[in-house]
Structure formats: structure tokens, C-alpha cells
Structure 1
Amino acid sequence: MKSQKVESTVILRCKKGKTAEFKNAVIKLVKETEKELGCELFRIFENKDNSEEFVLWEIFKNEEALEAHMQAAHTKECFALGLFEPISFIRHIEVK
């Protein structure tokens, strides 16, 4: 049996003075993540009212695909930069 899609929204807060560096890092992260077989959607948006806050919207085919993403070198490299912290995490499913 296939496991259910993993859909989530994460609010990220960029470290003060690191916004430009963060944007460069996540642009690379998005490009690499979109190449992953289990990734259906991976987007990062900047909060128009707070330039240090970002929204990550992601959909992976299943839990295994999300775990593969979290273990991928490009994901680990982005986290290792220490440019942000997650401040909110919501798992959701589409209402159909």
C-alpha cells in the first residue's frame, strides 16, 4: 500500500542581516529539491510585510520521499549554514 502524500507549510525566520545569503541558499535548495523523484512541489515565499520571514510550501509523494529529501546533501548543506530557524510547522491535506 502506498503511503499518503506529505504536504506541509513551514514558517522560517532568517537570522538578522543574513537575508541575502539566505535567499541565495534557498534558491539553490529549491532547484536541487525539485529534481528529487519524490518531490511534487517545493516553493519558498518571502513575507511581504517582514523581509526576515519566509514560507516554505512542500509536497512529497510519501514519507519516504520526505525522509530522502531530509537526508540529501543539498538539504543538509542548507541547514548547516545556520541562516534560519523554523518557527511554525503545519502538516495538511487538501480538502476534496
Structure 2
Amino acid sequence: MTDEQFLSTAVLKAKEGKRTALKEALLQLINPTRSEPGCLYYILFEDKNNAGTFYMREAFKDTAAFEFHTQTAHFKNFASQMDELMSEPIQLVELVKVSDME
């Protein structure tokens, strides 16, 4: 459904020796993505016990907004660096909200 929020966590694993470069490339996505009209949140985490494994928690108002995100210049720039920086393709875990925060 395009009227449901698009919620996901992207798992991004750095190649050996590329942790800092991947982190910097991901950080460069934050502000432009948050400025996209359909972005609700876009938050980067690193696995505390597994350095170089990053998680991007993202929410967009709908699937169309997420698809718009994947076509932006900033995302395409990041995508052009993935083979160099990442040990495996992005794992995108799509989520469905089943409870409130409270």
C-alpha cells in the first residue's frame, strides 16, 4: 500500500579497513535525506559490539517517498561507492509497526 508509512532498517557492513569511509559516506546522507519532503526520520547507528556494521533506521511517509529517496543525487552518489566500501549488499529489513511506544 502506498498510503502506509515505509519503515525499514538498512544493514550496511564495511569492508575490512573501510569502516571510517563507510561511516563518513553514510553521515553525508543524513541531512539531505532528512530534507526530503517524505522523510519522517533517518537515523544512523553502529553496532556497539561489531564495529563497521551500521544500521540506518528510516521512515518515509509512504513507499513512493522511499522510492523518491533512492532516485536522489545524494543516494545515487552513495550507491556508486557501495562496492568499494561494503563487504556485502545492503540488507533492507522492511518493518510493520505493531505497537505504540507507550
Please, what TM-score do these two structures have when normalized by structure 1?
Answer: 0.90
Give me the whole-angstrom Cα distance separating, in 2, the residues matched to 1:81 and 1:87. 12
Kindly indicate whether residue 22 of structure 2 is the aligned counterpart of residue 22 of structure 1. Answer: yes
- 1:50 is paired with a residue whose SS is coil
Structure-2 change in CA distance of 1:65 and 1:47 (3 Å):
same
Residue type of the alignment partner of 1:67: E
2:70 aligned residue? 70
Q: Which protein is richer in strand relative to its size?
A: 1
Q: List structure 1 runs of 4+ shifted beyond 6 angstroms.
A: none
Number of residue pairs the alignment of both structures matches: 96
Mapped contact 1:10–1:86 kept (Cα < 8 A): no
Kindly provide the CA deviation profile for residues 52-85 of structure 1, in whole angstroms up to 9, marking residues without a partner as x: 1111111000111001100000001011112123
CA RMSD of aligned residues (A): 1.7
**Ranges in structure 2 where 5+ consecutive residues have no aligned partner:** none
SS of residue paired to 1:32? helix
Cα–Cα, structure 1 residues 4 and 95, in superposed 2: closer, same or farther, change >3 Å? same
Q: Given the alignment, which residue of 93, 97, 100 partners 1:94?
A: 97
Runs (5+) with no aligned partner, structure 1: none
* Structure 1 residue 87: Cα displacement: 5.3
